[in-house]
Chain A
Amino acid sequence: MTEADVVVIGAGPGGYAAAFMAADLGLKTLTIDKEENPGGACLYRGCIPSKALLHAAKVINEAREASHIGISFGQPQIDVNRLAEWKREVVGQLTGGLGQLRKARDVQHIQGTARFVDNHTLEVEGHEGPVKFKHAILATGSRPVVPGPLAIDSKKVMTSTEALELEDIPGSLLVIGGGYIGLELGTVYASLGSKVTVVEMMDGLLPGADRDLVRVLSKNVHSMMHEVLLGTRVVEMVETMNGIKVTLDPAREETFDKVLISVGRRPNTENLGLENTKIELDGHGFVKCDAQGRTGESHIFAIGDISGQPMLAHRATHQGRLAAEVIHGSKAVFEPHAIPAVVFTDPELAWAGITEGEAKEQGVPHKVARFPWAASGRSLTLGRTDGLTKLILDPESERILGVGIVGPGAGELIAEGTLAIEMAATAEDLSLTIHAHPTLSETVMETADVFFGNSTHMAGRRPARK
């Protein structure tokens, strides 16, 4: 029989962070995961491989754009196998490193899939004897959703998992879903040479993000993609000799070499033996839990994608570390003021805290200040003028409630905004903090100046927009 103070089921960015924290707090900790090394979907099939491929896309695009400033490289020669191999090396290096960190912390690991036998016991496929625990952290993550009508048995239909394997570069690719996964992978394949068509059911890309930010991104998306079809549904897909014949609504028929389905992800909460515990699921398959992550069994915690939206690795990591601290006796709860969201397209789009759309919808009193990057010296030196930084502020206290950024490097810049929201910073705090010149981070400071109507690089006095 195996015993532990804390068993962590699933070793993704939530699970391994939880396990490491628990071990650092002196608890006897065990992880159970299908893979030998920690990483989960994020490292093996998500964030990390997609960012490696997006880096390749960036190199290709920047080399091409360089002709505008007098530097020409000619057509890039792309060795897909080498690119895929490099991506695997990156993943291998990171997950291997995590494996060593786990060993160094004396965290035990069992490779396999776990099931609850009762509320203090697990059985693991391929592992002899029960695993007994005092506390458990469920962190089994999520997987891509394939809606019924799109579920056809064909190698030419991919989810993000297969698309990241980069088996080949299809001549034409249909991306179903204009959310962040579809746009990121669409960018990769378009940069590598595929003719990419994006269909999105809603009448805008990136539902949930503010439209003024999306507009800046849309320009580039439209020029990079072969076509972007909004307000369009996929009615039927059939595999043919030449690829996948797709029927769209509004009526149209077209054949693509490959199709990528990126319409969302669902929590992995099946086959866990939850029926042998008091753990309950909600209507969407998420585990019901409180703000500390406690499930119906108060000694079993749920973190990350299985605990609700937004399904983001950094949220999982934070929750996982918190769950370990709670098990150790802390009274802390999960109460972030902001969870940053980043879309790694070109340009990147990121936001944190409340969006302008949410503020309007919820009737939160607010003012918005915007600073277009055409007025940023640093942006021009990068050969770019597309970008926008915006702040959503409380009109009374002038506190920063939300930050939205679109432009190259937005994913890094959003960190300052997130910190500002968490620290309850006011517009004046941002305005009075000296930002290095010339950097894109100055746009955050200058947006605060715009709020006061005295931005150095915006022509004229522009009082903040209501």
Chain B
Amino acid sequence: MATEFILPELGENIESADVVEVLVSVGDSVEVDDPILEIETDKASFEVPSTVKGVIKELRVSAGEVAKVGQVVMVIEESEGAAKEEAPEDDAPSSAEPSAQEERQDSDEQEEGQAEQEEPEAATATAVSEAPTESRGQVDLNREPEPPAEEPSSNGTSSGARQLVPAAPSTRRLAREIGVNIQQVKGTGPSGRISIEDVKNHAKKLLSGAGAPAAAASAPAAASVPVVTLPDFSKFGETKREKMSNVRRATANQMHLNWSTIPQVTQFDKADITDLEALRKQLNKRRAEGEAKLTVTAILLKVLASALKKFPQFNASIDMANEEVVYKDYFNVGVAVDTDRGLLVPVVRDVDSRNVKQLAQDLNEIAEKARNKKIRPEDFQGSCITISNLGGIGGVGFTPIVNSPEVAILGVSRASMEPVYHDETFYARLMMPICLSYDHRLIDGADAARFLRWVCEALENPALLAFEG
């Protein structure tokens, strides 16, 4: 039977993705988990694996297009003759189509029969059953129910201040069911009232791609970079224009948000890593085949875990809307990675419960994934503080920008031998310049100085890591 392969959920708040490459052609055979599409969202590119075994029958997207989550991207003729029942979706209009309302009524009669003989079959409905808008007759009780299109913040009991969408309950419900964010629907009624027709038209527009660029553009952040009027460069010489990549656009938006919302200050210090380097080199010699190399960044991950525990205001976010500080009881660190697509910041998780060796491994894997486009959107989420290590390139210091909603970022520059005056003598010591940009709304200068000193001292006494880390 033919299965319509639908672009699956890609992660929180992600509604569409650029198709970078279609990895199969009509007539190709695919196995389950074979990559069939390469797509790119704002920060991540990754391959979409097939969920069925079969032969590609039809391609509905091509490279360069924008695909919506839930859109049919290809049709796969399932092989193996596995005596599956025809999925009811086959004849029905494609599930994301806005006519779901009528369909719902029509399918009422079949519903009972289906619901009863449902369970085993529904699991085999493959990609289709994961579509955001399955027909209501299809229920698989073993499956976790679908989460709502966008997760509302609290337990939904508050009323009042939140924005009331000018749409009737039936219209709001329809939008939820077909995966349309009603906040984005333009109402054509008096005072902007949104009708069922408006929701359907909006869905149609999204499906035909017309609305997609707008949706994609609004995805990264509400803060759009202010537009500066540019001079006519041709007066001065030749120019050429290039479209911003998704990564560049996301970086621009995020940096603008960080810069314009966080009053930040940078603190500088130097850590004597002579002993640490000796230890690191010694341990690296002893490392087993295939083990990741211990790096300064991996050690810093461990040091930061302890530092965040010691200074909880650095593992926090500011909620100005509620005038509250959010303290986090988890320890994830973002690590800035330089890739050929630009700056990416994947997150190393639970650094407090991993040892340095494991962290080196984690770091290696995630950086590798980021460079090879294997990374998923969720790999960029949930970081508490960020490290940017430019030591490999050089430089004596820089002022990194705090990555909102975090409140601090640690920057590392190149270590060099310096004369250090001690007990009336100069010693040659390996000194590493290190800096900390912090959100001055939450963190006072003295605390930042203490935090950075603590980090330096931890680096200077590597034995402490073993005892306290």
- By a beta-carbon cutoff of 8 Å, the part of chain A in contact with chain B is 5, 25-27, 134-135, 286, 288-292, 298-299, 307-310, 315, 326-339, 353-354, 358-359, 362, 364, 397-399, 401, 421-424, 426, 428
Beta-carbon contact of B152 and A333 below 8 Å: yes
Count chain B residues whose beta carbon lies closer than 8 angstroms to a beta carbon of A: 42
Report how far A265 CA is from B341 CA in the complex, Å: 58
Beta-carbon contact of B146 and A331 below 8 Å: yes
Beta-carbon contact of B191 and A399 below 8 Å: yes
Report how far A128 CA is from B425 CA in the complex, Å: 84
Q: How far is the CB of A414 from chain B (nearest CB, A)?
A: 15
Contact of A308 among B157, B161, B164, B176 (CB under 8 A): B157
Beta-carbon contact of B155 and A333 below 8 Å: no
Beta-carbon contact of B161 and A329 below 8 Å: no
Return the chain A residue nearest B156 by Cβ.
Answer: A291
Apart from A326-B145, A329-B138, A331-B176: 12 A-B pairs, beta carbons within 8 A: A25-B115, A289-B155, A290-B155, A315-B157, A330-B176, A331-B148, A332-B176, A333-B148, A335-B172, A337-B169, A362-B160, A397-B166
A291-B148, A329-B138 given as contacts; is B176 within 8 A of A26 (CB)?
Answer: no
Interface SS of chain A: helix, strand, loop or mixed?
loop
Contact of A26 among B111, B146, B172, B194 (CB under 8 A): B111
B272 at interface by CB-CB < 8 Å = no
Beta-carbon contact of B168 and A423 below 8 Å: yes
B136 at interface by CB-CB < 8 Å = yes
B7 at interface by CB-CB < 8 Å = no
Residues of chain B contacted by A310 (CB below 8 angstroms): 157
Beta-carbon contact of B145 and A329 below 8 Å: yes
Interface residues of B in 126-172 (CB under 8 A from A): 132, 134, 136, 138-139, 141-142, 144-149, 151-152, 154-157, 159-161, 164-169, 172
Beta-carbon contact of A335 and B157 below 8 Å: no
Q: How far is the CB of B315 from chain A (nearest CB, A)?
A: 21
Residues of chain A contacted by B138 (CB below 8 angstroms): 329
Report how far A5 CA is from B140 CA in the complex, Å: 11
Beta-carbon contact of B152 and A290 below 8 Å: yes
Beta-carbon contact of A364 and B191 below 8 Å: no
Report how far A339 CA is from B191 CA in the complex, Å: 23
B112 at interface by CB-CB < 8 Å = yes
Beta-carbon contact of A26 and B179 below 8 Å: no
Residues of chain A contacted by B194 (CB below 8 angstroms): 424
A330-B177, A332-B177, A333-B148 given as contacts; is B156 within 8 A of A134 (CB)?
Answer: no
B193 at interface by CB-CB < 8 Å = yes
Return the chain B residue nearest A289 by Cβ.
Answer: B155
Q: How far is the CB of A124 from chain B (nearest CB, A)?
A: 22
Q: How far is the CB of A54 from chain B (nearest CB, A)?
A: 26
B64 at interface by CB-CB < 8 Å = no
Beta-carbon contact of A5 and B192 below 8 Å: no
Contact of B167 among A286, A292, A353, A424 (CB under 8 A): A424
Beta-carbon contact of A329 and B136 below 8 Å: yes
Return the chain B residue nearest A301 by Cβ.
Answer: B145
10 pairs, A vs B, C-beta closer than 8 Å = A291-B148, A292-B148, A292-B156, A309-B157, A315-B157, A326-B145, A331-B132, A333-B152, A398-B191, A423-B168
Beta-carbon contact of A337 and B164 below 8 Å: yes
Q: How far is the CB of B151 from chain A (nearest CB, A)?
A: 7
B205 at interface by CB-CB < 8 Å = no
Residues of chain B contacted by A26 (CB below 8 angstroms): 111-112, 115-116
Residues of chain B contacted by A25 (CB below 8 angstroms): 115
Interface residues of B in 419-443 (CB under 8 A from A): none
Q: How far is the CB of B134 from chain A (nearest CB, A)?
A: 7
A290-B151, A362-B160, A426-B191 given as contacts; is B166 within 8 A of A330 (CB)?
Answer: no
B173 at interface by CB-CB < 8 Å = yes
Residues of chain A contacted by B149 (CB below 8 angstroms): 331
Beta-carbon contact of B166 and A424 below 8 Å: yes
Report how far A333 CA is from B191 CA in the complex, Å: 25
Beta-carbon contact of A424 and B168 below 8 Å: yes
B226 at interface by CB-CB < 8 Å = no
Report how far A423 CA is from B156 CA in the complex, Å: 19
Beta-carbon contact of B156 and A290 below 8 Å: yes
Report how far A307 CA is from B156 CA in the complex, Å: 9
Beta-carbon contact of B192 and A397 below 8 Å: yes
Contact of B166 among A326, A328, A338, A399 (CB under 8 A): A399
Residues of chain B contacted by A397 (CB below 8 angstroms): 166, 191-192
Report how far A135 CA is from B159 CA in the complex, Å: 28
B231 at interface by CB-CB < 8 Å = no
Report how far A325 CA is from B13 CA in the complex, Å: 23
B190 at interface by CB-CB < 8 Å = yes
A329-B139, A401-B164, A424-B164 given as contacts; is B145 within 8 A of A338 (CB)?
Answer: no
Q: How far is the CB of A120 from chain B (nearest CB, A)?
A: 11
Q: How far is the CB of B453 from chain A (nearest CB, A)?
A: 37
Beta-carbon contact of A329 and B134 below 8 Å: yes
B187-212 vs A, CB cutoff 8 Å, 1 = contact: the mask equals: 00011111000000000000000000
Q: How far is the CB of A398 from chain B (nearest CB, A)?
A: 7
A328-B136, A398-B191 given as contacts; is B156 within 8 A of A334 (CB)?
Answer: yes
Q: How far is the CB of A418 from chain B (nearest CB, A)?
A: 11
